Amino acid sequence: MSVHVGARHQVVVIGSGFGGLFAAKRLRRADVEVTVIARTTHHLFQPLLYQVATGILSEGEIAPATREVLRRQRNSRVLLGEVTGIDLATRTVTSETVLGETTTAYDSLVVAAGSTQSYFGNDHFAEYAPGLKSIDDALELRGRIFGAFELAELSEDHAQVDRLLTFAVIGAGPTGVEMAGQIAELARRALPGNFRRIDPRTARVVLVDGADAVLGSFGGKLPAQAAAHLKRLGVEVQLGAMVVDVDSGGLVVQDADGRQRRIPAVTKVWAAGVAASPLGRQLAEQSGAELDRAGRIRVLPDLTLPGHPEVFVVGDMAAQDLPGVAQVAIQGARYAADAVRARLTGKSPAGPFRYHDKGNMATISRFSAVAEIGPVRMVGFLAWLMWLAVHLVYIIGFKSRLTTLLHWVVSFLGSGRSERTATSQQVAARTALTQLGRPGPTGPDRLLRESAEASVASRRA
């Protein structure tokens, strides 16, 4: 199936994350037609995924429907599909769904396909240690975390209870620190009194990283202060410990002295690394651009591909020696959209892309966060209030902001978690889909397509 090109300039945006959505919205008053192609139907506010996983927020609050967000933007449309091919010569994008392939032509292209979890060549770890990059990941982890407490309540084997009540978080960056802190608070504040045989406060939370500091991207004393606060929460911070194996019952780490040891833990969370979308390799092969070790593509100073000024690459896919945070994607997307508008109106280019660093923030627990804004570094309650305000501003939609604020009041001022529901389907679905194959013509999409075709054929008969 082909999507026909209209008379106006056609801008195709790949991805509905921060880069994709902000690029599309920036073009709302431009004389262009915008087509957003994404593999999901929602825009994901990824920094709050850990709160979905630990029962603070529902998935709907951080993942509004993309169509709903863009419903009043008359020059935009949204297409569901996983982009499998970009042809720079013919200026077309190929995407796939259960109904087959769709080819969309473009005059300008904004590639904001984001990143995936990286297991550094050990992809088999994913079966036992989910990452935290999608709603599916967060819901699976919610089921695993709360399910571990439920199974521990049933078990009479003390060794098994210990394994069930040990939670290992691999990676001490912002995601790992936030996840470890919230699991510790869940065990020590939210769940005590809910069980009769076990005491959730005895749960062991282990934060593991091969680096020598938590929050290594932060400066000054913030990493040491964050580590000290985690320890006060009861989190075991194990640095200089590289994970060399993961299985259903635990993980094996190698310390700096070369010795290996095993940490028995049923629930593992992988927050150790990211890899750019595989679309980057396609673009590199066709344009001659270089890829870095994470699969990010080396773009020109104006975020375009060498020899292809009509193609912009923004966010986690672009190798720019910038942090992999939402602000980089947002500012890059706005820059690309402004460049498209300038070209159409005959204006001079704005010059190279310049990132305005608005700082780094990470929560450690309720009422405590770390913040680094220019030369200002702070830790504690004031940093936490700043974190709350910034995240509320960037959550899409008034309703989502309001319900998020209400859930935060319940969880932070009280001790409850309002989103504790988890199903067996949520826990097992990601692994089942992986076993079926990657979504596309040879994976679950093929099975669904064959089922749909068979259904249509039977009706005709």
134 vs 7, higher pLDDT: 134
Question: For the sheet containing 204-209, what is the strand order?
Answer: 235-239, 204-209, 166-170, 267-270
Beta strands in 81-212 (DSSP E): 82-87, 92-97, 100-105, 108-111, 115-117, 166-170, 204-209
CA–CA distances in Å: residue 368 to residues 47, 322, 371, 406:
16, 26, 10, 19
Is residue 45 situated within a structural domain?
no
Give yes or no: residues 266 and 189 share one domain: yes
How far apart CA 121 and CA 294 sit, in angstroms, is 11
Q: Which residues contact 96 (CB under 8 A, 6 or more apart)?
A: 81, 82, 84, 102, 439, 440, 441, 445
Shared-domain flag, residues 159 and 265: yes
* Residue finishing a domain among 239, 272, 305: 272
Residue 181 sits in a domain whose CATH number is 3.50.50.100
Considering the domain architecture, whether residues 218 and 304 belong to the same structural domain is answered as: no
| Position 407 in a domain | no
Residue 406 inside a domain? The answer is: no
Of 309, 329, 344, which marks where a domain is finished? Answer: 344
Whether 129 and 266 map to the same domain: the answer is: yes
392 inside domain = no
Q: What per-residue confidence (pLDDT) applies to 453?
A: 47
* Global confidence as pTM: 0.88
362 inside domain: no
CATH number at residue 110: 3.50.50.60
Burial bucket for residue 369 (CB in 10 Å: 0-12, 13-18, 19+): buried
At position 113, the amino acid (one-letter code) is A
Indicate whether 133 and 205 sit together in one domain: yes
Residue 350 lies in a domain: no
What HEC string does 26-77 produce? Answer: HCCCCCEEEEEEECCCECCCHHHHHHHHCCCCCHHHHCCEHHHHCCCCCCEE
| pLDDT value at 456 more than 80 | no
Same domain as 232, residue 145:
yes
Q: How far is residue 81's CA from residue 97's CA, in Å, rounded to a whole number?
A: 5
CB 334 within 8 A of CB 13: no
pLDDT (tens digit, 9 = 90+) per residue, 344-369?
998 877 899 999 988 899 999 999 99
User: For residue 56, is it within any domain?
Assistant: no
Residues noted as catalytic: 178
What is the Cα Rg of the chain in Å? 23
Supply the range of the domain harboring residue 93.
Answer: 2-39+81-117+275-344
Task: Of 263-267, 364-368, 419-423, give the lowest mean pLDDT range.
Answer: 419-423
The total number of structural domains in the chain stands at 3
pLDDT, one tens digit per residue, over 316-350 is 999 988 888 899 999 999 999 999 999 999 887 78
Note whether 132 and 108 are same-domain residues. no
